[in-house]
Amino acid sequence: MDCLFCKIAQGEIPSTKIYEDERFFAFKDIAPQAPVHFLVIPKQHIESLDKVTEEDVKLLGDAMLFIARLARKQGLDKTGYRVVNNMGDDGGQTVKHLHFHILGGRSLQWPPG
Ligand code: 5GP
Ligand code: ZN
């Protein structure tokens, strides 16, 4: 499948990997918006949050645990961080493979632009 993040997860396109297990891959965003900015993706290709089904409920729950553990490893639990999923055009989704942004290392503004 011609998908950038599938290729990154499979190591076909290089990235700065943070961690991976059987189901998830974490890597640094190429254009960081905060001192810490990494992405977590399921290795399984899911186009967006809109395409998630009941069968994916455990995967998504485990993704949140995976994210919290990685954030804690980097000490972000002490200062806080933000987890973002962009869906579709208005959400600002540019890569059509479900991913979560983890941003931290500075105070983030709310609401987003
Ligand atoms: P979206 O806008 O779809 O929510 O987020 C896509 C993110 O992927 C963007 O923050 C963008 O900087 C990042 N990105 C796009 N292409 C690459 C790439 O080739 N490598 C890495 N590491 N990040 C990428
Ligand atoms: Zn994909």
Token code pair at residue 103: 């941003």
Q: What is the pLDDT of residues 20-62, one digit of tens each?
A: 999 999 999 999 999 999 999 999 999 999 999 999 999 999 9
Ligand nearest to the CA of 49: 1
Among 4, 17, 20, 29, residue to substitute to test ligand 1 (most atoms within 8 Å of Cβ): 29
- Among 41, 38, 30, which residue's Cα sits nearest to residue 105? 38
Q: How far apart are CA 57 and CA 104, in angstroms?
A: 26
Q: What is the pLDDT of residue 1?
A: 78
- The closest-lying atom of ligand 1 relative to the alpha carbon of residue 28 is 22
Q: Is 41 in the pocket of ligand 1 (CB under 6 A)?
A: no
Q: Is 53 in the pocket of ligand 1 (CB under 6 A)?
A: no
Q: SS3 sequence, the chain?
A: CCCHHHHHHCCCCCCCEEEECCCEEEEECCCCCCCEEEEEEECCCCCCHHHCCHHHHHHHHHHHHHHHHHHHHCCHHHHCEEEECCCHHHHCCCCCCCCEEEEECCCCCCCCC
Q: What is the pLDDT of residues 7-30, one digit of tens each?
A: 999 999 999 999 999 999 999 999
Percent of the chain at pLDDT above 90? 98
Q: What is the pLDDT of residue 113?
A: 85
pLDDT higher at 113 or 87: 87
Instruction: Give Cβ neighbours of residue 21 (< 8 Å, ≥ 6 apart).
Output: 66
Cβ-contact 41, 28 below 8 angstroms: no
Q: What is the pLDDT of residues 68-93, one digit of tens each?
A: 999 999 999 999 999 999 999 999 99
Does the annotation mark 101 as catalytic?
Answer: no
Cβ-contact 6, 23 below 8 angstroms: no
Q: What is the pLDDT of residue 97?
A: 98
